[in-house]
Every structure is written in structure tokens, then in C-alpha cells.
Amino acid sequence: MKKNECSPSFVCSDQVETEQVSEGISRKILGYGPELMAVKVWFDEGAIGYQHSHRHTQVSYVESGEFEAVVDGETKLLKAGDSFYVAPHQMHGAVCKKAGVLIDIFSPHREDFLEEANNEN
């Protein structure tokens, strides 16, 4: 997938590389355009998405598993079907309590994710 362009209209999972992000965390970019990006993120039990912030608005949907999510200093245990919202520049992170998957939506798209994916290819 190329930076500053759009993904294809149809993205077949078996044609997109899964990227190892850190210990116990991997992701796949599902689709994107200049103003929106969807990413599927797999977490092993105990994996930590360390607290960070970025300029993007984010919504994360818990597809499976359990996550202890922190947004702007507030912590909540979330399970499949739950979600959390992160405003731009808010500190946030998650600890995976039971192996699972998050679907992350960003606006605008994450340029850094595209650069990292392009550097791996």
C-alpha cells in the first residue's frame, strides 16, 4: 500500500501482509483514504499497547478478547463488542488480558503505518 493514496476498493485479507508491531502484537491495514483508515490488530495475552498519543482521532472496537484500555487517565476493562474513543493528542493504551483483536479506525489515515508497511516490502 502506498503513502498518500487510497487502498483498493476491495481488500482481500490474504493479499495484505501482516506486520509484526511489537512483542505479541501484529496488524494488517484493512483499507484507507486520505481521511480514514481501518486496521486490524491482533494481541497475544499479556501484550501491551504502551500509552502514547497522536494527532489522529481514533475509535477502537473490541472484536474478541479482553483489554484493559486507558484513555486520558481513565481505565476500563473491555470485552468483545465494546469500544473506546480517543480524541486527538489524548494519551491512551491497552493491556491485553485475554488474547484478542481490536479494529482501529483513524481519521485522518496514519501516515506512519503506511511508511512502516512500505519499508517492510
Domain range summary for the chain, segments of one domain joined by +: 25-120
Spatial distance between the Cα atoms of 105 and 118, rounded to a whole number of angstroms: 20
Helix (H, G, I), strand (E, B) or coil at 21: strand
Give the cell for residue 21. 508491531
Residue-wise pLDDT tens digits, 79-118: 999 999 999 999 999 999 999 999 999 999 999 999 888 7
Cis peptide before 108 (omega within 30 of 0): yes
Decide: residue 22, CB within 10 A, 0-12 exposed, 13-18 middle, 19+ buried. exposed
Q: What is the mean pLDDT of the chain?
A: 94
10 pLDDT more than 60: yes
Spatial distance between the Cα atoms of 61 and 85, rounded to a whole number of angstroms: 9
How confident is the model over 28-37, as a mean pLDDT?
Answer: 95
How confident is the model over 48-54, as a mean pLDDT?
Answer: 97
Q: What is the pLDDT of residue 117?
A: 80
Spatial distance between the Cα atoms of 11 and 50, rounded to a whole number of angstroms: 29
Spatial distance between the Cα atoms of 89 and 54, rounded to a whole number of angstroms: 5
pTM of the entire predicted model: 0.92
* Assigned CATH topology for domain 25-120: Jelly Rolls (2.60.120)
